[in-house]
Amino acid sequence: MRLAVNIDHVATVRQARLAREPEPVTAAVLAELAGADGITVHLRGDRRHMQDRDLRLLRDVVSTRLNVEMAATDEMMAIARALKPDQVTLVPEEPGEVTTTGGLDVAANATAVKRAVLQLHDAGIAASLFVDADADQVELAAATGATAIEINTGPYAGAPTTRRGEELAKVQQAARQAGAAGLEVLGGHGLTYVNVRPIAALSEIAELNIGHSIISRAVLVGLERAVREMVALVG
């Protein structure tokens, strides 16, 4: 299983002081040296952490795989077509939210999502949709022409111990459904060093996107060690 490290919160620290450091591009290099299979960033409409210049630098420097999370808006699609990351993951975005709280409602946004997927494919960019572990959402995601889905593991990660098995089963079922529909299956959101192993054991999932837990641990033990420890758990 691949591990993509989300480095958004390196930029969060920088933007808290509107300073020049820490540099997300430096974090990306260190994560790759420690064994990360890819780098993930989220360019939000409010630019609360990652900035446009960060993406340009990352596109030049990342040697593994650059995945950019963004909303399915005209502004973001124009940026994606110019940047040409390896993959764009379409995510929901609400003003004022602390972090992404749920999967993309593909049914409610079908027109915008299909248009975005088509634009990405025309530019030679793989398109993934961040969706909940819900059969209807997975089916609709496959109908958009996307090449992959990232299953929202947040409900699993946040569930009490008594319900975690139930949430894990939902993730596995959604992953099997997506795989049968020809989609590559990724997972992410809320995963930590404590809860990642059951998700990493699902053979239907090819890659995990993990950010907050790795960056939090890196504050204490250093980024390279934090990434290596997560690589070991995922592997």
- Is residue 170 a contact partner of residue 155, using CB atoms and an 8 Å limit? yes
Over the chain, what is the mean pLDDT?
96
pLDDT at 98: 66
Query: Catalytic residue numbers?
Result: 42, 69, 189
Q: Is 96 left (phi over 0), alpha (psi -120 to 50) or beta?
A: left
pLDDT at 150: 98
For the chain, the domain total comes to: 1
Question: How far is the C-alpha of 40 from the C-alpha of 3, rounded, in Å?
Answer: 10
Mean pLDDT of 139-168: 96
Q: Show Cβ contacts of residue 72 under 8 Å, excluding neighbours closer than 6 positions.
A: 90, 109, 112, 113, 115, 116
Give the pLDDT mean for 9-17.
97
Determine what percent of the chain is predicted with pLDDT higher than 90.
Answer: 95
The 10s digit of each residue's pLDDT in 25-62 is 999 999 999 999 999 999 999 999 999 999 999 999 99
What pLDDT sits at residue 94?
79
pLDDT of residue 83: 97
Q: What angle do CA 62, 185, 126 make, to 5 degrees?
A: 50
Q: For 91-171, where are the E strands, in sequence order?
A: 126-131, 148-152
Q: Examine the pLDDT at 167 and tell me if it is beyond 90.
A: yes
pLDDT one-digit tens code per residue, 74-88? 999 999 999 999 999
pLDDT number for residue 101: 72
CA distance 184 to 234: 17
**Which of 57-71, 100-114, 215-229 is predicted with the least confidence, judged by mean pLDDT?**
100-114
CA distances for 71 relative to 1, 80, 104, 139, angstroms: 26, 11, 9, 20
Is residue 100 pLDDT above 80, yes or no? Answer: no
pLDDT in tens, 101-127: 789 999 999 999 999 999 999 999 999
Query: Is residue 235's pLDDT more than 90?
Result: no
Domain that holds residue 190: 2-234
Q: Please report, for the domain that includes residue 97, its CATH number.
A: 3.20.20.70
